[in-house]
Copies of this chain bind each other. A is one copy, B any other.
Amino acid sequence: MAQEKTKQVSQITDMETDFAQWFTDVCKKAELIDYSSIKGMFIYRPYGYAIWENIQRILDAEFKKTGAENVAMPMLIPESLLQKEKDHVEGFAPECAWVTYGGSEKLEERYCIRPTSETLFCEHFKSIIHSHRDLPKMYNQWCSVLRWEKTSRPFLRHREFLWQEGHTMHATAEEAREETQRMLNVYADFLENVLAMPVVKGQKTDKEKFNGAEETYTVECMMHDKKALQSGTSHYFGDGFAKAFDITFTGKDNQLHYPHQTSWGVSTRMIGGIIMTHGDNNGLVLPPRIAPVQVIVIPVAQHKQGVIEANEAVMARLAAAGIRVKMDASDNSPGWKFAEYEMKGVPLRLELGPKDIEKNQCVLVRRDSGEKTFVSLDNIEATVAEMLDSIHEGLYQKAKKNLEDNTYACLSLEEVKEKMVQRGGFAKAMWCGDLECELRMKEEAGVSSRCIPFAQEHLSDTCACCGKPAKKMVYWGVAY
C-alpha cells in the first residue's frame, strides 16, 4: 500500500525500463542534486551533501588513524608547473579549464584549475623535505577538482566534483608501496562496512592506470545494472615525480636520495555507487551507517492528545543512543510522508499512534524489505540499532549476490562476447599481458579491463584472447 502511494507521489521511471533515467530521477526526486547553468557543474543539495559529510567524517577519521594530516593547497596550477611531469600533463592538459585574466589584466602565464594536485604537492614537498627526518609526509585534502569533460551525469561524471586526494612521500619504495595498499584497504573496508558495497580489489593494467603513476590499484564495484563502478584508486609513483621536481632528501647514510610517492582518492562518485547498488523503484535506499537520517518518526493520529509528546520522547531516547533520528509532524498526509521518506531512502520508519502508546509499542518498517514489525518500546534503542545492523547486512549480502551471480569465468574471447552480450556483468578471463589483446577485448566484446584482482584464479594456461601463455586473470566489464 505504501508502495502504491510512493509511485503516485514520486513518478520515477522503473529501473527495468530505463536504468539511466531511473538514476537521474532518483538524484532529482530524492533532492540529492540540482543542475546549475554551466553544463556538467552540479549543485549538491542539503540531503546529497549530508551523505558526503558522513562519508567525510568517517573516512577522515580513518585517514588520521594512519597518520595522514589534512592540508589545503591552492586551486590554481601554473601551466609550467603542470608540465613538469610528461605523462601527467599529457593526460590532464586536454581537460583543464584555463584562467587567462586576473581582473582586467591578461596573465603572463595561464593557470589551470586543478584537475588533481600532484604537481602542487610536489612543489610544496620540495620546499619542506630535506632530511630523512622529514619523512614520511602523509597529506590529504578535501576539495573540488575540475575536468572539462564533454559529457556529464550526476555524481558519475561532473566537470567539477568533490573528492579527497591523499599525497604521501616516503623514504623507500617499500614504504610507499605499503601506503598504497594500506589506503586501498581503507577504501575497501569503508565501501563494504559502511556503504554495504562489496568490492573487487586489484591492480589496473598499464592502459588503465593513472597518468604518471607506475602502478594504480583500484576497488571495483558492480552496480545493479551489472556495470562496473571504479570506486576508489591508490597510485604508486615510484620516484618519477620526485626526479621531475628535483625533490631529494639526505638519508641516514648521509647521501642524497629521491623519496617515493603515492596518491589516493575517492569522490562523490561513491554516492552514485550507493544509488545504483541499493536503490529500487521506490527511490533511494541508504545503507544505515551513511544515512543522514537513520530513523524517520511518523506520529499516527498526531492531533490526539499525548501523541506528539510520546513520539518526541521516543525520538529523544533514540538520539541519546547516538541514532540519527528525525520526526515529521507536518500536516502532510501519512501516505505522502511514507512515500517521501521511501524516496529519500531512510532505512527505518517508526510509527507511533494512540493504540501503540496504550500497548507500549511502536511499528518499525524497513526500507529495504518493506517488512513491518510491532516492537516493544521497552528496549527501543537496542531494537532499532539491531535492525539498522540487519539492514546493513541485508543490503551487503544482496549486493554481494548480485556481484557473484553475475561474474563468469570465461575461457575464450567468444565466451566473453556471448556472456557479456547476453547477461552483462564481469567476465573473469586469463590474459597474456599484451595491450593488443586488451584492445581487442574492447573492440570485439565491448569490455574494458577492470582490474587484475589480488585474488587470482588459474582458469587456464592461455590468454582468452590470443591463446599465448597467460600471465594473469583479469576482470573485464562495462564501466561507468
**Contact assessment for B43 and A124 in the assembled complex, using a CB-CB cutoff below 8 Å:** yes
A94 an interface residue at 8 Å Cβ cutoff? yes
User: What is the bound-complex CA distance between A377 and B146, given in angstroms?
Assistant: 53
Most chain B beta-carbon contacts within 10 A, residue among A36, A110, A143: A36
**Contact assessment for B100 and A100 in the assembled complex, using a CB-CB cutoff below 8 Å:** yes
- Please give the distance in Å from A324's CB to the nearest CB on chain B: 12
Q: How many identical chains are in the complex?
A: 2
Q: What residue in chain B is nearest A124 (Cβ atoms)?
A: B43
Interface 9-mer from A45-53, A257-265, A434-442 = A45-53
A34 an interface residue at 8 Å Cβ cutoff? yes
User: What is the bound-complex CA distance between A69 and B50, given in angstroms?
Assistant: 8
In the complex, chain B residues whose CB is within 8 Å of the CB of A162: 72
Q: What residue in chain B is nearest A46 (Cβ atoms)?
A: B69
User: What is the bound-complex CA distance between A46 and B143, given in angstroms?
Assistant: 15
Assuming A49-B72, A71-B43, A71-B46, is B34 touching A103 (CB within 8 A)?
Answer: no
- Please give the distance in Å from A127's CB to the nearest CB on chain B: 7
A78 an interface residue at 8 Å Cβ cutoff? yes
In the complex, chain B residues whose CB is within 8 Å of the CB of A97: 76, 99, 101-103, 111
In the complex, chain B residues whose CB is within 8 Å of the CB of A74: 36, 38, 41-43, 160
**Contact assessment for B71 and A45 in the assembled complex, using a CB-CB cutoff below 8 Å:** yes
User: What is the bound-complex CA distance between A123 and B38, given in angstroms?
Assistant: 12
User: What is the bound-complex CA distance between A102 and B123, given in angstroms?
Assistant: 25
Q: Which residue in B103, B124, B146, B160 is a CB contact (below 8 Å) of A148?
A: B103
User: What is the bound-complex CA distance between A143 and B103, given in angstroms?
Assistant: 21
**B-contact bits for A83-113, CB 8 A (1 contact / 0 none):** 0000000000011111111111000001101
User: What is the bound-complex CA distance between A148 and B104, given in angstroms?
Assistant: 10
A73 an interface residue at 8 Å Cβ cutoff? yes
Supplied contacts A41-B74, A41-B75, A52-B72, 19 more A-B pairs, CB within 8 Å: A34-B128, A43-B71, A43-B124, A46-B139, A50-B69, A53-B70, A75-B75, A75-B146, A76-B160, A94-B104, A95-B103, A96-B103, A97-B111, A98-B102, A100-B100, A101-B110, A103-B148, A113-B113, A143-B144
A interface vs B, CB < 8 Å? 34, 36-38, 41-46, 49-50, 52-53, 69-76, 78, 81, 94-104, 110-111, 113, 120, 123-124, 127-128, 139, 143-144, 146, 148, 160, 162
CB pairs A–B below 8 angstroms (23 shown): A34-B124, A34-B128, A36-B120, A37-B78, A41-B74, A43-B72, A43-B73, A43-B74, A43-B124, A44-B71, A46-B69, A46-B70, A49-B71, A52-B72, A72-B144, A72-B162, A97-B99, A97-B101, A97-B103, A97-B111, A98-B100, A99-B99, A100-B101
Top 5 A-B pairs ranked by shortest CB distance?
Answer: A46-B69, A41-B74, A98-B101, A44-B72, A102-B148
